[in-house]
């Protein structure tokens, strides 16, 4: 006879190879806090509905508190043969409180139990990501304020395009991470829905109150369809997508830091604490943190594809394939959490080099558009002005100088519309100051961006206002 909790109809023991292959305790033990929180809410509901006595509820809650204390003290006896976090906790609970421990599972299945645990875990992870991403936004905002007057080449196709303020460049990332937070918040609303009460797939005959459990756990609602409740993991997919987009944004900035830290650019100096050296070349200061973070982005993408592939052919309802939902998410959770925290620290410690950025403005004719616009405002059709400016660039390139260094006679040889006032227009600081359209790089829209981001950072997230019951 099998010694498994489900072994009543089995005559033989499960083979050791099968136990090793099918166990999940090696990774789902990370869900212990959510499992215990769900079990406490379920126990309280069973008592409230008269399924168990109030005295039994007290015993169960006390026993579950002891189990949690043992886990967090590192003394809990995890047993692989019990397969998963649920059975490990329930078995130890029964050892502590006696036979009443076996009543805890009344009205539920491991199918709705694991889904509840995982939803709570993913929700809690999303909340951590949101806090970390908001902190990173705050660092971008701080660095933007500190570098409001610094200019650098803005690029398209990795080629110098137009001058922009460093503040504007940094704030572009702040807006990306703000949207990441908004995506996470939207995902969290769909994730924190309780499936408990769906049981194995069809509901239960016990007079349960799923809404009470959801309320106790600070969830936003309950399932609408018991089969859907235990069968889908789209909430985890959505969270993995949110994590992947966040990593993409981190990776893009890592790419820029790697370039900017190269002495040929010299735009930034990374702190020693966030750099490494070479085992053979003593002079090296390598941006390894940024490189590894860029590499870990591919790992997050892989986890998303992993779960998408797992889910694509699973019929209703629960299938054991779904056990494979946790490893990719747990990995992405650690990756996103660590990357956001580390980037905030690294960016905070990064020193920018305004002089090198200013020097770079002189290479690449970043004021060419200013000349074209200057001619257009004097009545020349923009397409013609574009061609005239192109000839001016060719002339400056031939002479090995910038547009602003061409003489007035040289410029007027290209168009008689050009007057002495053109040099004020070609000034890089002027070019930036003039771009005051909404969202532009000029001082006014940049200041408005900072105000908007500051107001957003000062506003608590919706779940922060109501508290996290788990």
pLDDT tens, residue by residue, 126-179: 999 999 999 999 999 999 999 999 999 999 999 999 999 999 999 999 999 999
Both tokens assigned to 75:
């003394």
Assess contact for 212 and 40: CB atoms under 8 A: no
Read off the pLDDT of each residue in 321-337 and give the average, rounded to a whole number: 96
Tracing tokens 């959490």 back to the chain, one arrives at 337
Both tokens assigned to 465:
């206002």
The segment(s) of the chain belonging to CATH 1.20.200.10 are 111-359+454-466
Residue 2 has pLDDT above 70, yes or no: no
Q: Which of 15, 157, 224, 407 is catalytic?
A: 157
The segment(s) of the chain belonging to CATH 1.10.275.10 are 7-106
Q: Indicate the helix (H) or strand (E) that contains 152.
A: strand 151-156
CA distance 234 to 119: 10
Assess contact for 145 and 420: CB atoms under 8 A: no
Indicate the average pLDDT of the chain.
Answer: 94
Q: Indicate the helix (H) or strand (E) that contains 193.
A: strand 193-194
Tracing tokens 């060719």 back to the chain, one arrives at 394
Q: What is the DSSP string of 66-135?
A: HHHHHHHHT-----GGG-SHHHHHHHHHHHHHGGGGGGTTTT--HHHHHHHHHHHHHHHHHHHHHHHHHH
Q: Which residues touch 275 (CB under 8 Å, ≥6 apart)?
A: 285, 286, 287, 288, 289
Q: Indicate the helix (H) or strand (E) that contains 351.
A: strand 351-352
Q: Which of 26, 54, 62, 278 is catalytic?
A: 278
Q: Residue 4: pLDDT band by 50, 70, 90 thresholds?
A: low
Residue 470 has pLDDT above 60, yes or no: no
Tell me the backbone φ, ψ of residue 128, rounded to 5 degrees: -65, -45
At residue 362, the 3 state secondary structure works out as: coil
Q: Residue 65: pLDDT band by 50, 70, 90 thresholds?
A: very high
387 labelled catalytic: no
Residue 377 has pLDDT above 90, yes or no: yes
Q: Residue 13: pLDDT band by 50, 70, 90 thresholds?
A: confident
Read off the pLDDT of each residue in 217-228 and give the average, rounded to a whole number: 97
Residue 466 has pLDDT above 70, yes or no: no
Residue 362 has pLDDT above 90, yes or no: no
* DSSP type of residue 161: E
CA distance 178 to 187: 14
The domain over range 111-359+454-466 is classified in CATH as 2.60.40.10: no
Both tokens assigned to 357:
């950025």
109 labelled catalytic: no
Assess contact for 144 and 166: CB atoms under 8 A: yes
Using CB atoms within 10 A of its CB, is residue 304 exposed (0-12), middle (13-18) or buried (19+)? Answer: buried
What is residue 18's predicted lDDT score, i.e. its pLDDT? 85
Report the Cα–Cα distance between both ends of the chain, in Å, rounded: 39
At residue 391, the 3 state secondary structure works out as: helix
Read off the pLDDT of each residue in 316-331 and give the average, rounded to a whole number: 94
Assess contact for 352 and 268: CB atoms under 8 A: yes
Q: Among residues of the chain, what percentage have pLDDT more than 90?
A: 89
Q: Which residues touch 171 (CB under 8 Å, ≥6 apart)?
A: 140, 141, 144, 446, 449, 450, 453
Q: Give 231-289 pLDDT, tens digit per residue.
A: 999 999 999 999 999 999 999 999 999 999 999 999 999 999 998 887 888 788 899 99
Is the bond into 317 cis (omega within 30 degrees of 0)?
Answer: yes
What is residue 17's predicted lDDT score, i.e. its pLDDT? 86
- How far, CA to CA in Å, does 36 sit from each of 62, 76, 212, 396, 398? 11, 14, 16, 72, 74
Q: Give 87-97 pLDDT, tens digit per residue.
A: 999 999 999 99
Nearest residue to 343 (alpha-carbon basis) of 134, 167, 164, 148: 134
Q: What is the DSSP string of 285-341?
A: -B-HHHHHHHHHHHHHHHHHHHHHHHHTTPPSS--GGGGGGHHHHHHHHHHHHHHHH
Read off the pLDDT of each residue in 10-37 and give the average, rounded to a whole number: 88
Q: Does the model's pTM come out above 0.85?
A: yes
What is residue 3's predicted lDDT score, i.e. its pLDDT? 61
Q: Among residues of the chain, what percentage have pLDDT more than 70?
A: 97
CA distance 389 to 369: 8
Beta bridge partners of 351: 269
Region of poorest pLDDT, from 58-62, 126-130, 322-326? 322-326
Residue 11 has pLDDT above 80, yes or no: no
CATH class of 7-106: mainly alpha
Residues 297/300/301/307 CA torsion (nearest 10 deg): 180
């Amino acid at each position: 006879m099998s010694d498994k909790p489900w072994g009543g109809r089995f005559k033989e023991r499960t083979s050791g190879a099968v136990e090793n292959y099918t166990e999940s305790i090696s990774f789902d033990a990370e869900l212990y806090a959510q499992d215990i929180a769900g079990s406490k809410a379920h126990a309280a509901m069973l008592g409230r509905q008269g399924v168990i006595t109030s005295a039994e509820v007290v015993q169960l809650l006390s026993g579950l508190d002891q189990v949690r204390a043992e886990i967090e003290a590192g003394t809990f006896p995890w047993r692989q043969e019990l397969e998963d976090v649920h059975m490990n906790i329930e078995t130890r609970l029964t050892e502590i409180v006696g036979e009443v421990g076996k009543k805890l599972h009344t009205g539920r299945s491991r199918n709705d139990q694991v889904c509840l645990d995982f939803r709570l875990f993913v929700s809690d992870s999303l909340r951590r990501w949101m806090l970390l991403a908001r902190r990173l936004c705050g660092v971008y905002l701080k660095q933007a304020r500190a570098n409001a007057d610094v200019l650098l080449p803005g690029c398209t196709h990795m080629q110098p395009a137009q001058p922009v303020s460093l503040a504007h460049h940094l704030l572009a990332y702040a807006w990306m991470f703000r949207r990441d937070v908004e995506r996470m918040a939207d995902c969290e609303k769909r994730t924190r829905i309780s499936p408990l009460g769906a049981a194995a797939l069809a509901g239960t005959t016990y007079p349960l109150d799923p809404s009470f459990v959801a309320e106790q756990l600070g969830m936003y609602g309950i399932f609408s369809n018991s089969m859907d409740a235990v069968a889908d993991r789209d909430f985890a997919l959505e969270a993995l997508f949110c994590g992947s987009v966040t990593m993409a944004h981190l990776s893009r900035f890592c790419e820029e830091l790697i370039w900017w830290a190269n002495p040929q650019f010299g735009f930034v100096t990374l702190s020693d604490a966030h750099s490494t050296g070479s085992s053979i070349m003593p002079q090296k200061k390598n941006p390894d943190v940024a490189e590894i973070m860029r590499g870990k982005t591919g790992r997050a993408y892989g986890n998303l594809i992993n779960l998408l592939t797992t889910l694509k052919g699973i019929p209703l309802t629960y299938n054991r394939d779904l056990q494979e939902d946790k490893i990719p998410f747990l990995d992405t959770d650690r990756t996103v959490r660590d990357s956001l925290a580390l980037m905030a620290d690294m960016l905070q410690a990064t020193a920018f080099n305004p002089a090198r950025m200013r020097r770079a403005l002189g290479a690449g004719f970043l004021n060419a558009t200013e000349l074209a616009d200057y001619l257009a405002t004097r009545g020349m059709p923009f397409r013609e002005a574009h061609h005239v400016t192109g000839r001016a660039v060719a002339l400056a390139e031939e002479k090995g100088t910038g547009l602003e260094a061409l003489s007035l006679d040289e410029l007027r040889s290209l168009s008689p519309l050009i007057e002495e006032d053109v040099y004020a227009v070609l000034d890089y600081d002027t070019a930036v100051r003039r771009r005051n359209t909404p969202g532009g790089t000029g001082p006014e829209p940049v200041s408005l961006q900072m105000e908007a981001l500051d107001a957003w950072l000062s506003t608590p997230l919706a779940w922060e206002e109501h508290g996290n019951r788990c």
